[in-house]
A and B are shown apart, each in its own frame.
Chain A
Amino acid sequence: MRKIFLGILLISLIFSGWYIGSFLKPKETKGGISVTVIVRQYRDGKLINEVIDKKDPFTKNFVALLYLALKSGYGTYSATDISGSSHTLQVDRSSFYTPLAGTGNYIYIGDGSAEFTINDYKLSGTYTQKATTSTPSESTVNPKINYTISASFTLSSAMTIREVGYSRVLRDSGYNYAEFLLMRDVLSTPISAAAGDTVTVTYIIRING
């Protein structure tokens, strides 16, 4: 009987120690940017599924774009557009050359599940859909600042959504415009969507978050 009591006491102490410790919170994270992807599935106007992922989605094209943006004056980088063609992106001090002169932001959904690699320049699936994003919105809760980009898809046929991506149009050194994949994510949980379903994809880019 005593052993049972001690056993229960021991388990209680272990659980209470863990429980009390779980109330401690980390100090505010500072410095850094996080990206959260939210995919919602609606049927007949009702939300029936939601996947929220916080991952590492940036492609080499994004790294190159940030790298060029941090250049002092002249700089170039060879980037691959979403069709697989290579382009030279260029910046200079006069801003005569700038990739950001291109306009057009798109979000993709696809049925591919290939593991993310930083070299991805397109979605991996054989079936993808593309939608123009809404105008990005900004909200601030000092010291955090959120940029939200989203797009909505109404499916004409059933598909299993396993991956999402974000692209934007950039201008190359020859003043040609092309679309470059800047983010790609494989969803933690695939979404089986039926024809007629509406799917929204939202990227939340959080500074200091």
Chain B
Amino acid sequence: MKKLPVFLLSAFLISFLASSAFSLREERGIMEVFVNLKVYDEKGTLIKDITMRDPLTQAMGGFINRLFSGASATDESGTSRSLGTGVGGPLYICVGTGSPVNPAYSDYKLVYPLQCVQASQATMSIVGNRGNISLSASFTFSQQYTITEVGLRKYLSYNYLLAHDALPSPVTVPAGGKLTVTYIIRINSGV
């Protein structure tokens, strides 16, 4: 008999938790962009590996929209420009030491860029009804740096920042160490 209140409270809590899990489930995008960072020490040993979803900027919006029709975007100088039809400009991955405040759509440059490296050629794969595109870049540093932001930059006569994010926690790359940043774009990711 004494167990009755516990039983009733348990029923309430289980129901509440189940409902919360349903309400708080992550809404998935149809195309998602992830960024992965791997930090190696000077001996080549992996010392940190993090993956996060990356917010897209207004320039990425324009870049995507341009695949459907004409579009404009803000370049890294803050100037709004009409994007032409060319697409073959070099693509860079940038890392920085700034502290972006709520990095998002309106960003057009890193807060404090440290280094930009031309990304490896993008690779594409189709798995089932999903498409995957990935590209990466490696950074080596002669002295220790603490990286706090990453970005994806496309050059189309001007530099455009397509994605920008603050790292969930700063990543320290030791002197002589290496940082690898990989962008992964998943298309039809909800299938």
Chain A residues within 8 Å of B, Cβ to Cβ: 6, 9-10, 13-26, 29-35, 54-58, 60, 62-75, 77, 91-95, 97-101, 105, 116-118, 135-136, 138, 140, 142-145, 147, 149, 166, 168, 182, 205, 207-209
Interface string of B1-32 (1 = CB under 8 A from A): 00010001101111111111011111111111
Q: Is B48 an interface position by the 8 A CB rule?
A: no
Interface string of B56-87 (1 = CB under 8 A from A): 10101101111111010000000000001111
For residue B107, which residue of chain A has the nearest CB?
Answer: A143
For residue A27, which residue of chain B has the nearest CB?
Answer: B24
- Determine if B23 and A94 form an interchain contact, defined as CB atoms under 8 angstroms apart: no
For residue B129, which residue of chain A has the nearest CB?
Answer: A118
Q: Give CA–CA (A208, B86) in the complex, Å.
A: 24
- Determine if B126 and A63 form an interchain contact, defined as CB atoms under 8 angstroms apart: yes
Chain B residues within 8 Å of A, Cβ to Cβ: 4, 8-9, 11-20, 22-34, 53-56, 58, 60-61, 63-69, 71, 84-91, 104-106, 118-119, 121-122, 124, 126, 128-131, 133, 135, 154, 163, 165, 185, 187-191
Q: Which label, helix, strand, loop or mixed, suits the secondary structure of the B interface?
A: mixed
Q: Which residues of B contact A60 (CB under 8 A)?
A: 126, 131
For residue A9, which residue of chain B has the nearest CB?
Answer: B8
Q: Give CA–CA (A47, B63) in the complex, Å.
A: 34
- Determine if A62 and B24 form an interchain contact, defined as CB atoms under 8 angstroms apart: no
